[in-house]
Amino acid sequence: MSFVECRESRGLGVGGGLAQKATISESGRDVVAVAMGPGKRHITKPVCEITYALREEGIDTSVIVINAGSGVPADAPDVSTGSIFGLDPIEVDRIQQFKVALIHLGNVRNHIIYKARLILRNVDLPAVIVCQAPVDFEDFARIGIKTRLVMPTKENIATKGRIEEIVTGVVRGTTAPQNKLDEIVSKVRANL
């Protein structure tokens, strides 16, 4: 049996509902699931299902919901979304305490790769990327992210952390199929 501290501040909706941005639920120090803040486009449902599947397999998994989780980083080429994705120093410190980062991102290809770069630029962890859009190791390496299969040139390396695995086809706002949950559990376990 384990105890999960769900959040440090009040959530959204009746009775607390979904985790609010700038919160962390702590359950051990193995894996941290990094989630964008809840909103119309950033549905937290897959993150909850993924976290539950990992915990069910005995993998201690905590969740951090990024305070500035919408938009793209300031150095991304398409900064026209109106909001800027970023990390607070306390979020960097919290993420760095874990062994593996499971980074859940959305369905806009450019947003996925630039958000991953910002996170891995600040934390030195192996990472598993989970998203809806089809992306591959080359997409990430092209902008300086270290990956298991494709490395950027030495002078172009822009991250401390490294992408070890990628799971695509996890659709926002819908139930994650069992085969995707199994794939995520397998890829996370391989990096612990």
Between CA 182 and CA 180 the distance in angstroms is 5
Q: Which two tokens stand for residue 30?
A: 């193995």
Q: What is the pTM (predicted TM-score) of this model?
A: 0.86
Q: Coil, helix or strand for 89?
A: helix
**Are 98 and 31 spatial neighbours (Cβ–Cβ below 8 Å)?**
yes
Q: Which two tokens stand for residue 36?
A: 């964008």
CATH of 16-189, one of 3.40.50, 1.10.287, 2.40.10, 3.20.20: 3.40.50
Domain coordinates in residue numbering, the chain: 16-189
| Residue 50 burial (C-beta neighbours within 10 Å; 0-12, 13-18, 19+) | buried
Based on its alpha-carbon atoms, the radius of gyration of the chain, rounded to whole angstroms, reads 15
- The tens place of each residue's pLDDT in the chain, 192 residues long, gives 444 444 444 444 433 444 555 556 666 789 999 988 665 554 567 888 999 999 999 999 998 888 766 667 778 887 665 677 778 899 999 999 999 999 998 888 888 999 999 999 999 999 999 999 999 999 999 999 999 999 999 999 999 999 999 999 998 878 899 999 999 999 999 999
Tokens 């996170």 belong to residue: 119
Non-local (6+) Cβ contacts of 132 within 8 A are: 106, 107, 168, 169, 170, 171, 172
Residue type, 135: V
